[in-house]
Structure 1
Amino acid sequence: MVLSDEHAAAATGAYGHRDVRTPHLDRLAGQGWLFENAYCTSPMCVPSRLSLLSGRYVHEIGAWDNGIVPGESFRSWGHHLRAAGYESVLAGRTHFNGPNRLLGFDRRLSDDLDFWVDHDGRPPSRTPGWRRGSNSHVTEAGTGEHVHTRHDVATTDRALDYLRERAAGPDDAPFLLYVGYMHPHFPLVAPPEFAAWYDPARVALPPTWRDPPQQQHPVIARLRYGFHNDEPLPEEQARLATACYWALVSHLDFQVGRLLAAVDGSSLRENTVVVYTSDHGEMAGHHGIWQKQCFYEPAVRVPLLLRLPEHQDGRRRPARVRGDVSLVDLLPTLREVAGLPVDPELPGRSLCGGPDLTPRPAFAEYHAQGMVDGGFMLKRGRYKYCAYAGHRPQLFDLMIDPWERADLAGDPVHTGLLAELSEQLERIVSPEDADQRAKADQQRRRAG
């Protein structure tokens, strides 16, 4: 299981990008299933990761923000697969908060960087006046050496040692190896050899990169203010930042290639499932936004690649799966792979059906800085519905409006569809209730 940080699906060759070089991910995609419409459950690191590891939505486990420290009741992939005799092993980036560095896994090969580990559990400020100190998440872009790059290379090294031991040893006990990378998370400091692949002067910026906040939904305008994205970047800066982001994606791809070579060049190739995904995406200037924290496609749509042993021996054919899927589907998938029965308490479903999966919507939510009131998304086929506690909703038809520029929520023609999607969202969660619960918990933690 390979999990990167902040990799938007569209920034991948296999997902149609004409400039970003990802040959190893592209090869993996061509050998198994590529899920064209995979979504994270929250466009924020810790909430998304705790959700995918537990197989539960953010509001179910109270993982509202990046300050959450999981309690003793938290059950991860490691807890679940232990029942099937699996050894579960962590390497690299997990973004767990608190002293428990395993959360149900059996051992670690390496940990997060020190400055990501220690967190006091305090929640972020969600006041209207909150504002990030700077927009360094985009302006600190360029080439050079960085601790994130060293972390990712070392993570691959440790994972390769483990895979070689497994391939060489007589132990047939099953294992789950989670490999976590920092790239392409900001700061956008790219290794020179990969940055050389991308000339900023040739970078094509999205058509929405200059969208003025005054013409956007008030929740989006507030988000842009909070993250210092309310003033458009100089064009040269936007091009440089984009080129560096692409270079970080390519460096990540290179690390994935090293892992695939170890698996495919050994006996592990015959019986090892390989999954690649990311915790959320990166706006990369779309709608004038950098980072994530919203429900536009670059923030919530993630790459998801699944290669089963049956793809290797011809029992299943590679395919592109078009239906909406969610990162909460990963745990049910792992349970099926491990031979465990369906857990009816999990909201997700196994992805092992691939192209035969029954269509169902994807859900996401956000309760952290930049958004004063809770936000919720339901993505169903061509339509995306965004609800905000105390604010008017948004509605987009992605088939005719892939850039999400035409908000249809105010069009009387779509009144019935809005009501239908709102009712479907309510069957998953009450936005008002979840918003109140999140704020109450954050207030309690702030007072403590």
Structure 2
Amino acid sequence: MRPPNILVVLSDEHTAAAAGWAGHPQVRTPHLDHLAAQSVSFDRAYTNSPMCVPSRLSLMTGRYVHQIGAWDNGVIPDPTYRTWGHHLREAGYTSVLAGRTHFNGPDRLLGFDRRLTDDLDFWLDHSGRPPRRTADWQRPTNSHVTEHGPGDHVHTQHDVAATDAALEFLRDPGEQPFLLYVGYMHPHFPLVAPPEFRELYDAADVELPVVADEQHPVISLLRHGFRNDEPVTEEQLREATACYWALISHLDFQIGRLLAAVPDDTVVIYTSDHGEMAGHQGIWQKQCFYEPAVHIPLLLRHPALEPARADAHVSLVDLLPTLRNIAGLPPDPALPGQSLLDPHDRPVLSEYHAQGMLNGGFMLKSGPWKYCYYGKAHPPELFNLDEDPQELHDLSAETPLVQRLDAELRLLLDPDATDARAKADQAVRLSRG
């Protein structure tokens, strides 16, 4: 029996809560809402790293960041990585890329068969240099929040071109089953939104984000590094958020164009590499483990699955085992993930090893608990998301619970040894110039 065609759509920086089907009262996502009504929505889906390149390489290889050394945005993929393209070739699939992948280096395929459109070159690092992880590091500006408003932008042009190329491929995909990946820039900053989508929103409807009275020292340093501690006016906060919503709606429109071109028996997966803090806890971008940064949308439409809301904890490393399952391939015991066609609840892991944090950060989400470990030099953070969804009340003084969750984390990795490996690798890459 011929395996089904597969369309995977990956956005950049779409937090799980900012969508109609997720219950957001303002964000308009009619096409994704329609897809959600046909899909299993994984309501506890998480990224394995709140940063672009690490999360994407983890996604594509089905391996955790620490397993493949994908520590930061400067990493050039190792040629021995086996990605979706390598795996599904075993089942006779043609694998095709369009748009945003954020693969650094000269290899633009990483095991896929064809590329229709490429990344914007200014987002790619061809040097392999790591970020500077020192206490005095700062982003040049806080433009990720202050650069906003209606207008045309190269990100929008990129996304339209990716859709156009994907639609051209879908008109004549060939005889083999295909895996088509379409990657979008939106809603990644800068928050410059197409005017017709910006007009959908009134900045006065924006609810101002919540910031805790006291912040963990790691979070304070992170905010300083990314200039999120610099004053931003209420007007700027509202406009930036409205533009973020508008970029999501433009993304939704592009996805609607794709969905109109594929038959109902095509498997469709939609997710994002990570979220966007959008001012929560005084942070814009991601680079931390609060829900807006790590909680991501994940929809799976499959002819054999009834639409449902699934509450099992899942993460991006689960996509490759899922694709193998859909393609009729047996489970690969080397992969840490599980197939989303029959998931079971289990703790999920996210990690961060880049600028803004002096030491590696690690998150374990287990049941209602979120445990964040920042190394021996700092206390951890602990939240009960069932009782404290905005993560304002740190429970890390609950010693027995911290010990239990720390032990769960160490079943997946040794965080201190992993931090040392990351720093050693980054030092070697830095020494190469």
User: Which TM-score band applies after superposition, normalised by the shorter structure?
Assistant: over 0.9
Offset at residue 118 of structure 1 (A): 4.5
For 1:369 and 1:114, the matched residues in 2 are separated by: 21
* 1:289 pairs with 2:283: yes
Offset at residue 165 of structure 1 (A): 1.0
| Other-structure match for 2:405 | 421
For 2:133 and 2:296, the matched residues in 1 are separated by: 26
For 2:172 and 2:401, the matched residues in 1 are separated by: 55
* Counterpart residue type for residue 224 of structure 2: Y
| Other-structure match for 1:15 | 22
For 1:117 and 1:370, the matched residues in 2 are separated by: 20
Specify the SS of the correspondent of 1:110: coil
* Counterpart residue type for residue 376 of structure 1: F
| Other-structure match for 1:60 | 67
* Counterpart residue type for residue 418 of structure 2: A
For 1:248 and 1:41, the matched residues in 2 are separated by: 24
Note the alpha carbon deviations across 1:362-387, whole angstroms, 9 max, x for none: 11000000011000000012110000
Specify the SS of the correspondent of 1:441: helix
* 1:397 pairs with 2:396: no
Asked if structure 2 preserves the Cα contact closer than 8 Å seen for 1:126 and 1:372, the reply is yes
| Other-structure match for 1:260 | 259
| Other-structure match for 2:320 | 331
Specify the SS of the correspondent of 2:158: helix
- % identical equivalent positions: 67
* 1:205 pairs with 2:208: yes
* 1:309 pairs with 2:303: yes
Offset at residue 187 of structure 1 (A): 0.2
* 1:184 pairs with 2:168: no
Match of residue 275, structure 1, among 261, 269, 279: 269
1:359-378 to structure 2, matched below 5 A, reads 359-378=345-364
| Other-structure match for 1:313 | none
Offset at residue 232 of structure 1 (A): 4.1
Specify the SS of the correspondent of 1:275: strand
- What is the TM-score of this pair, normalised by structure 2? 0.97
For 1:118 and 1:406, the matched residues in 2 are separated by: 38
| Other-structure match for 2:4 | none
Between Structure 1 and Structure 2, how many residues are aligned?
A: 424
For 1:286 and 1:94, the matched residues in 2 are separated by: 27
| Other-structure match for 2:245 | 246
Asked if structure 2 preserves the Cα contact closer than 8 Å seen for 1:278 and 1:302, the reply is yes
Asked if structure 1 preserves the Cα contact closer than 8 Å seen for 2:209 and 2:282, the reply is no
Offset at residue 32 of structure 1 (A): 1.1
Asked if structure 2 preserves the Cα contact closer than 8 Å seen for 1:43 and 1:292, the reply is yes
* Counterpart residue type for residue 350 of structure 1: S
Match of residue 33, structure 2, among 21, 26, 30: 26
* 1:439 pairs with 2:423: yes
For 1:342 and 1:175, the matched residues in 2 are separated by: 20
Asked if structure 2 preserves the Cα contact closer than 8 Å seen for 1:88 and 1:176, the reply is yes
* Counterpart residue type for residue 368 of structure 2: R
For 2:384 and 2:230, the matched residues in 1 are separated by: 27
For 1:121 and 1:6, the matched residues in 2 are separated by: 23
In structure 2, list runs of 5 or more residues that go unmatched.
1-7
* 1:113 pairs with 2:126: no
Offset at residue 71 of structure 1 (A): 1.6
* 1:381 pairs with 2:340: no
* 1:158 pairs with 2:165: yes
Asked if structure 1 preserves the Cα contact closer than 8 Å seen for 2:210 and 2:282, the reply is no
In structure 1, list runs of 5 or more residues that go unmatched.
311-315
Note the alpha carbon deviations across 1:136-179, whole angstroms, 9 max, x for none: 1110011100000000001000000111113xx5x1x1110000
Asked if structure 2 preserves the Cα contact closer than 8 Å seen for 1:4 and 1:184, the reply is yes
Specify the SS of the correspondent of 1:225: helix
Offset at residue 205 of structure 1 (A): 1.6
Asked if structure 1 preserves the Cα contact closer than 8 Å seen for 2:197 and 2:249, the reply is yes
For 1:102 and 1:116, the matched residues in 2 are separated by: 17
Offset at residue 233 of structure 1 (A): 1.5
* Counterpart residue type for residue 199 of structure 1: D
RMSD: 0.9
Match of residue 13, structure 2, among 6, 12, 29: 6
Asked if structure 2 preserves the Cα contact closer than 8 Å seen for 1:92 and 1:112, the reply is yes
| Other-structure match for 1:50 | 57
Note the alpha carbon deviations across 1:107-132, whole angstroms, 9 max, x for none: 10010012123421000000011011
Specify the SS of the correspondent of 1:321: strand
For 1:126 and 1:190, the matched residues in 2 are separated by: 32
Match of residue 77, structure 2, among 65, 70, 83: 70
| Other-structure match for 1:126 | 133
For 1:94 and 1:54, the matched residues in 2 are separated by: 13
For 1:10 and 1:232, the matched residues in 2 are separated by: 26
Match of residue 193, structure 1, among 170, 187, 196: 196
For 1:33 and 1:96, the matched residues in 2 are separated by: 29
